[in-house]
Structure 1
Amino acid sequence: MTALEHALKELKDDVILMWIMVEAQLEAAYKAMLEYDQNLAREVMQKEKRINAYELKIDEQCEDILARYQPVAVDLRFLLAVLKINANLERTADIADGIARYVMDAPAAFDHGLLQSTHLLDMYTESLTMLSDTRRAFEREDTALARSIFQRDEIIDKYNIEALDIVTAHLQQSSPFIRQELLVLSIIRKLERVGDQAKNLAEEIIFYVEAKVLKHHSPKEL
């Protein structure tokens, strides 16, 4: 193994670890929401600093490899993709932090019926699965799995629109749970952004494996 190959392998391992950390943050925020566990929500918020530090570490690794080895072709595409993947993962961790803050703001446990009727639980499960599937696609360089994310993001978008209609109807009926419903809607909007980040991750995987840029393409072109 050459020095460049060793450096790239180390970088990939670190990105996968970052990915797992972000997944854990999103899962912990989910558990905090379901169980109204504000201590766990606080823990998610505290661990955000660790994610930020890891993001800087990976950026520095990329810069070092670029300066030392001046990689070309697939190795250069990999580095460029990792820089964007790293940023997307950090944004996803920010979303987990935001959800944890909504749990801290909630005056009482979330009504399970409301979580179900707004599809928040389905949306959260799908978001977690999309994030873990993009990691597997990155590990295996599996562009077919990466491409499956695009259609699933459309499902997330559909849930988001339906939830807005449901909460709006509740508010028009003078619901006694206005604060909770607004918090649920805010969490749903955060999850819609997780879907967007997963789609961005998938695009970067396809870019470095196939040398195809998919930004601004319609779903039929993907």
Structure 2
Amino acid sequence: MVGDHSSKQYDQELEAIRSKVLLMGGMVETQFDEALNCFRVGNIDLADKVMADDQAVNQLEVQLDDACSHLIVRRQPAANDLRTVMATIKVITDLERIGDEAAKIARTAKSLHERGMVSFNHYDIVRTISRNTADMLHDALDAFARLDGKTALQIIARDDEVDFEFRTILRNMITFMMEDPRTISSALDTLWVAKAIERIGDHAKNIAEYVIYVAEGRDIRHSKPAALAGQAEG
């Protein structure tokens, strides 16, 4: 009876942590969406809000890390339970870094529009990579909520597309700067934003990898993309 009671308490505490992690995920999703909106329309007030909201995300990271540490000390989980807690801690770190990247986008957008340096349609340059990365993040959080390993594998495979889009943007920005030096400032700002978006895609991929670690007990970090692609299709 005591063992059953202790196990139930552990499950409740872990579920409370997971719920807060998903809340944190929703916060950084909103941050990312609002940061992109800043970059698109130049809303300075919204940019300030995105940067201020990053503090709330940072505080939640500290609280969740503390909760996970206390859970390990009190309940001393083993095997799959310990794997779940450790993966959750890593997901929390990736979410905090996504918030940092969103704040970076907002900061760059604010600077760009305050200087009035927009010399081309900078948002169109990142439109596709933004949409694909936002979808990756949303799907990664959904996979984490459901511990869906199959969806997680598909998300990992999509990261190659985001990387390809970033390399295309890099080439385009170099061309702009070579053809017209007056675009250098705007092109560099756009490139910093594109890199931040690409990094958010990397963090979404990381979250998907941790889902597989929990759901299937496999650590697939650094696995060859071709092998993972075959598993995703299966």
> TM-score band, normalised by the shorter chain?
over 0.9
1:65 to partner: Cα distance: 0.7
Report if the CA contact (8 A) 2:38-2:110 is conserved. Answer: no
The answer on 1:78 being equivalent to 2:84 is: yes
Report if the CA contact (8 A) 2:39-2:123 is conserved. Answer: no
Report if the CA contact (8 A) 1:36-1:108 is conserved. Answer: no
2:105 alignment partner, one of 89, 99, 103: 99
2:178 alignment partner AA: Q
After TM superposition, the structure 1 = structure 2 runs for residues 102-181 of structure 1, keeping only pairs within 5 Å, are 102-106=108-112, 107-108=115-116, 110=118, 113-116=121-124, 118=125, 120-181=126-187
SS at match of 1:189: helix
Match of 2:231 in 1: none
Match of 2:232 in 1: none
Could you report, residue by residue, the CA deviation over 1:174-196 in whole angstroms, capped at 9, with x for unpaired residues? 24332111100110011111111
1:9 to partner: Cα distance: 0.8
Match of 2:23 in 1: 17
The separation in 2 between residues aligned to 1:37 and 1:111, in whole angstroms, is 17
**Structure 1 vs Structure 2 CA RMSD:** 1.4
Aligned length: 220
Report if the CA contact (8 A) 1:19-1:89 is conserved. Answer: yes
User: Do the aligned partners of residues 114 and 44 (structure 1) sit closer, same or farther apart at CA in structure 2, a change above 3 Å counting?
Assistant: closer
User: Do the aligned partners of residues 110 and 79 (structure 1) sit closer, same or farther apart at CA in structure 2, a change above 3 Å counting?
Assistant: farther
- After TM superposition, what 4+ stretches of structure 1 lie above 4 angstroms from structure 2? 109-112
SS at match of 1:147: helix
Structure 1, unaligned stretches of length 5 or more?
none
The separation in 1 between residues aligned to 2:144 and 2:118, in whole angstroms, is 35
SS at match of 2:116: coil
SS at match of 1:176: helix
User: Do the aligned partners of residues 31 and 115 (structure 1) sit closer, same or farther apart at CA in structure 2, a change above 3 Å counting?
Assistant: closer
TM-score, with structure 2 as normaliser: 0.90
Report if the CA contact (8 A) 1:206-1:212 is conserved. Answer: yes
SS at match of 2:121: helix
SS at match of 1:200: helix
Could you report, residue by residue, the CA deviation over 1:136-167 in whole angstroms, capped at 9, with x for unpaired residues? 00111111111111221111100111111111
